[in-house]
Chain A
Amino acid sequence: DIVMTQSPDSLAVSLGERATINCRSSQSVLYSPNNKEYLAWYQQRPGQPPALLIYWASTRESGVPDRFRGSGSGTDFTLTISGVQAEDVATYYCQQYYTNPPTFGQGTRVEFK
């Protein structure tokens, strides 16, 4: 299985600050024939199911605010939240879908200082 490792485990930010979450995969999730990165990001608020934010490493799901940005390639990826809002307090997960089984990172909790 591909192991997904996120850093940091938790992150304290002030309202309006930038939050950066990193995700590293144990092997590349780039599929060369279509040049796509098989990586997604989710937000999970307490007591709620995960909500898809980004797929193909950088494509925002419909309705996701543009302050959420995904970037990276190969084995190293980043989710950036530009200008954290109160509703962004949540745990964020990366997921690879390059190989079976799909696997998730351990999560990064974003909270306010």
Chain B
Amino acid sequence: QVQLQESGPGLVKASETLSLTCTVSGGSVSTSSYYWTWLRQPPGKGLEWLGYIYYRGTTNYNPSLKSRVTISIDTSKNQFSLRLSSVTAADTAVYYCAGGTVYSSSWYPDWGQGARVAISS
């Protein structure tokens, strides 16, 4: 198992871009064993899958957000990142980074503690 920690601003203005970083420890983001994933959970609601990146740079995004989401990887820092553009109040949520398994379509054994992000008007 690996440890993951999200970081980034807790408050973002509407119409701007939300940026979060996930730092991985106890393992390498360059491994072929994980699909590095972002999910979110609006207050009092369920979980929404945003997308993943594989160590070779392959990405896959939720079609409902595809035009606004970008996930990137920085192997030199052992991190992967989320950018969500043109945010609105509906993007207020706790954002989680997670490590999937060797399967691109997967369950998630490893999670960060979550980063709470609020969108202000």
Chain A residues with CB under 8 Å of chain B are: 38, 40, 42, 48-52, 55, 61, 93, 95, 97-107
Contacts and interface: CB of A to CB of B under 8 A. Distances in A.
A95 B111 contact: no
Contact of B47 (A38, A48, A93, A100): A93
Interface stretch (B11-19, B23-31, B78-86, B102-110): B102-110
A102 B107 CA distance: 9
Nearest to B106: A97
Interface in B49-108: 49, 60, 62-64, 96, 103, 105-108
B46 interface: yes
Given A49-B114, A50-B96, A95-B107, 9 more contacts: A42-B108, A49-B112, A50-B108, A52-B108, A55-B107, A95-B47, A100-B60, A103-B49, A106-B46
Contacts, number: 48
Nearest to B47: A104
B105 A52 contact: no
Interface residues of B, number: 20
Interface of B: 45-49, 60, 62-64, 96, 103, 105-109, 111-114
B105 A49 contact: no
Contacts of B109: 52, 61
Classify the interface of chain A: helix, strand, loop or mixed. loop
B47 A97 contact: no
Given A49-B112, A49-B113, A49-B114, A104 B107 contact: no
Contacts of A48: 113
Contacts of A50: 47, 96, 108, 111
A102 B111 contact: no
Nearest to B113: A49
B46 A97 contact: no
A13 B66 CA distance: 41
Contacts of B106: 97, 102
Contacts of A38: 105
A50 B109 CA distance: 9
A97 B105 contact: yes
Given A97-B105, A98-B105, A49 B111 contact: yes
